[in-house]
Amino acid sequence: MSTQPETILVTGGTGFVGAWAIVRLLEQGYNVKTTIRNLKKTSMVRDAIASQVDPGERLTFIQADLTSDAGWTEAMAGVDRVLHVASPMHTDDSADIETFLKPQREGDERVLRFAAAANVKHVVITSAAAAAKPSDDSRADSDETVWTQPNDPVQNPYQRSKAIAEKAAWAWMENYNGDMQLSTVLPTAVFGPVLMPQNDSSQILIEQMIKGHVPGALKINFDIVDVRDLVDLEILAMKSDKSGGQRYLAAAGSMSMYDIAETLKEHLGDHGKKIRTLTIPNWVLLAIARFNANVAVFVGLLGRKFHYTSAKAENDLGWRPRNPHTTITDSADRMVTLHLVD
């Protein structure tokens, strides 16, 4: 006897992570519903998905927004599991923490509330590694037992809001009496090939490097995860009863900004001729950061000694991420193909 495939809801289908989640789920035989704020973008998303896998009749779009109840009953109807990857984004790093926190916290609660009402089996929320930053920077690794302090002066408001919002989701579950399970996945900096001809915040660094808009390499390191590996981990967590009530860090390894620049320059050939590898002294970053909030976000990475470990995801769920160098070069190749860096 054939088994009817499960239906999975992906929130935020127009996003970088959401689009790849749809692709991976369709590849694995699931039916997929996805929420988008504007149904006029349906064709754009469907075409992007079709570049990787034929969605056929297995992909459905529902108009819904994290800031409103409208559409969520329809979105959850007939859904078995949820990958909640949508997150309101803001580019103003000088904004008050409540600017970031309110839509995140209320959005997570809204997804959990409507999922519970629809008897969904499992919800996986995409948090962020920024929610697991140790207050003691002398430790070598940070794992899922660590929670970012809400008043950590090194973290910007958006980063601190991720920890508070995730804690609020777990608090909601403590007051819930049903069978639905919750897992959270905490990615580091998410890179990888974009599916649509628009850029996400995590990709801006590579785009600007290739265009020659970055004057050099700061003395900072990035913990990196490939978007394809991130959604693979979220699907593994979604399918596993063992993952209920668990947090999972998603980190594949670390690269310095200089290594990223050198890797791109060597890999891209003529397309990478504008990339600059001159090392920028720390004092230059600190001086610019006083007047530029977009630069100030990097100050917290100066001198950072710890790295995030994904040992739990690897041991519990068998997750195996690809090498960060592959992720970086795949990111760049896709940008060239989509003419994002012309």
Within a domain: 299: yes
pLDDT at 303: 72
pLDDT at 103: 82
Say whether 113 sits in a helix, a strand or coil. helix
pLDDT at 179: 96
Within a domain: 252: yes
pLDDT at 158: 73
Close Cβ partners of 114 (under 8 Å, ≥ 6 residues apart): 69, 72, 73, 75, 76
Name the most confidently modeled range: 47-51, 153-157, 198-202.
47-51
Whether 81 and 25 have beta carbons less than 8 Å apart is answered as no
pLDDT at 131: 92
Whether 194 and 136 have beta carbons less than 8 Å apart is answered as no
Cα–Cα distance measured from residue 52 to residue 19, given in angstroms and rounded to the nearest whole number = 10
Q: How many domains does the chain have?
A: 1
Mean pLDDT of the 117-121 span: 98
Whether 311 and 143 have beta carbons less than 8 Å apart is answered as yes
pLDDT at 199: 54
- Does residue 226 have a pLDDT over 70? yes
The predicted-structure confidence for 261-282, as pLDDT tens digits, reads as follows 999 999 999 999 999 999 988 8
Mean pLDDT of the 86-94 span: 60
Mean pLDDT of the 141-158 span: 81
Whether 133 and 92 have beta carbons less than 8 Å apart is answered as no
Query: Which CATH number goes with the domain that contains 118?
Result: 3.40.50.720
More confident residue, 300 or 35: 35
Among candidates 324, 342, 327, 16, which has minimal Cα distance to 210?
Answer: 342
Cα–Cα distance measured from residue 73 to residue 292, given in angstroms and rounded to the nearest whole number = 42
More confident residue, 94 or 194: 194
Within a domain: 203: yes
pLDDT at 157: 75
Mean pLDDT of the 227-250 span: 97
Kindly report the average pLDDT of the chain as a whole number: 90
pLDDT at 293: 63
pLDDT at 91: 47
- What is the band of 1 on the pLDDT scale with cuts at 50, 70, 90? very low
Within a domain: 342: no
Residue type, 164: I
Whether 219 and 280 have beta carbons less than 8 Å apart is answered as yes
Say whether 131 sits in a helix, a strand or coil. helix
Tokens representing 342 are 């012309």
Whether 249 and 308 have beta carbons less than 8 Å apart is answered as yes
Within a domain: 2: no
- Does residue 139 have a pLDDT over 70? no
Within a domain: 315: yes
Using the structure block, give the residue that is written with the tokens 């996400």: 200
Cα–Cα distance measured from residue 121 to residue 262, given in angstroms and rounded to the nearest whole number = 45
pLDDT at 184: 98
Among candidates 197, 216, 243, which has minimal Cα distance to 342?
Answer: 197
- Say how many CA atoms lie within 13 Å of 16 toward its Cβ: 24
The predicted-structure confidence for 22-45, as pLDDT tens digits, reads as follows 999 999 999 999 999 999 999 999
Mean pLDDT of the 213-235 span: 94
Does an H or E element contain 164, and which? helix 157-174
Q: Label residue 13 exposed, middle or buried (CB < 10 Å: 0-12, 13-18, 19+).
A: buried
- Does residue 68 have a pLDDT over 90? yes
Mean pLDDT of the 319-339 span: 96
Residue type, 66: L
- Say how many CA atoms lie within 13 Å of 41 toward its Cβ: 19
Mean pLDDT of the 320-342 span: 94
Within a domain: 1: no
Task: Give the residue numbers spanning the domain of 94.
Answer: 7-337
- Does residue 94 have a pLDDT over 60? no
pLDDT at 201: 62
pLDDT at 88: 65
